[in-house]
Amino acid sequence: MNSPPSRRKKATSPASTDSTSAASSANEDISQQEDPGSATITVTAVEVPELTEEEQRDRLHLERRVERAFFEAGKALTELRDRRLYRSTHKTFEDYCRDRFGHSRQQSNYLIAAAGVYENLTTIGCQNVANENLTTNGSQILPTSERQVRPMTKLEPQEQQEVWLRAVELAGGKVPTGRIVKDAVQRIMERTRVPNTYQLGEVCQILAKDNPELRGKGGCWGIVSQVNEFSCTVKTWNGEYTVGLQHLKSYNYLPAECEQMREISDRINRVYSSGLEESVQRFLESLGKLNRAYLTALEEKLLSLLEAEIAN
């Protein structure tokens, strides 16, 4: 008969015994605390040294460079454009900006216009303050980005100064955001604008001066398709655009002439939308800048020929 297996006593190592004892001791210490939440935690404070005079000067100098970055860019682009310093590698300033800086001509125009506003703010009403101190750390708060001044580019110099001071006030004495500046601009424009007297179907010329957003549309005629409070939506030979009243000029055509221009506009648009070659588009663009309410015999013949071509 087989005997039952004997029970072997498990050996306990000294290390295991010590570990168990330590855990029991720790639990016993915790249990003896009346309230763990009342334990005091000691934090050693780290003293942050003050800036030295030299470090303070360096900080102010670097901050001024950041603040003036868009201004310096705009001034440089202005000189590159006006002196045509791009002509050795590019035919147009637009191509140069795209290839060299990776942005459009419109972005360059924004920076150029913003630099003009910034420069104006450092002179209008501030002749007694040195330009070196015209920063957010000096005697006057100035813009730090192009978007902050973009809404002011269409205003007169004195209006720009008034708007900026108002925007700084609305921002609590700090550099205002672009939205705050836009609100301040809207208030002054609503105060100074005359009522919109344009009529539906009226033919107007687009004036693109001092408005980069209308680049390429200067001199084009458009037909008013919507009358807004301070702007008009006009239909041109290649689309519709909302244009401020200050950028429109009526041709004062008679109703019959306006209707004739509407028909011409529709004909040009149909041909343009067909996607013919670039030379044809240039011809259509020239028709879109007519300062008369009719086509010459040759213009009529060419347009009719193009209409027949897209009909086939």
102-160: pLDDT as tens digits: 988 788 888 999 999 999 888 754 433 334 444 443 447 889 899 899 889 888 888 89
Query: Can you give the pLDDT at residue 11?
Result: 46
pTM: 0.45
The mean pLDDT value of the chain amounts to: 80
Instruction: Pick 21 or 271 by higher pLDDT.
Output: 271
Query: Can you give the pLDDT at residue 36?
Result: 57
Q: Which amino acid is at 38?
A: S
Query: Can you give the pLDDT at residue 245?
Result: 85
pLDDT band for position 295 (50/70/90)? very high
234-290: pLDDT as tens digits: 998 888 888 888 889 999 999 999 999 999 999 999 898 887 888 888 899 899 999
Are the C-beta atoms of residues 231 and 242 closer than 8 Å to each other? Answer: yes
Query: Can you give the pLDDT at residue 38?
Result: 63
For 16-20, 31-35, 114-118, 177-181, which range has the lowest pLDDT when averaged over its residues?
16-20
> What's the N-to-C CA distance of the chain in angstroms?
113
Tell me the mean pLDDT in the region 202-221.
85
pLDDT band for position 168 (50/70/90)? very high
Q: Which domains does the chain have, with CATH numbers?
A: 57-192 (no CATH), 194-312 (2.30.30.30)
Q: Give the residues across from 232 on adjacent strands.
A: 227, 243
pLDDT band for position 43 (50/70/90)? low
For 188-197, 226-235, 236-245, 298-307, which range has the lowest pLDDT when averaged over its residues?
188-197
Query: Can you give the pLDDT at residue 192?
Result: 64
Query: Can you give the pLDDT at residue 297?
Result: 94
Letter string b/e over residues 88-103, b meaning 16 or more CB atoms within 10 A of that residue's CB: eeeeebbebbbeeeee
Residues above pLDDT 90, as percent of the chain: 33
Query: Can you give the pLDDT at residue 123?
Result: 77
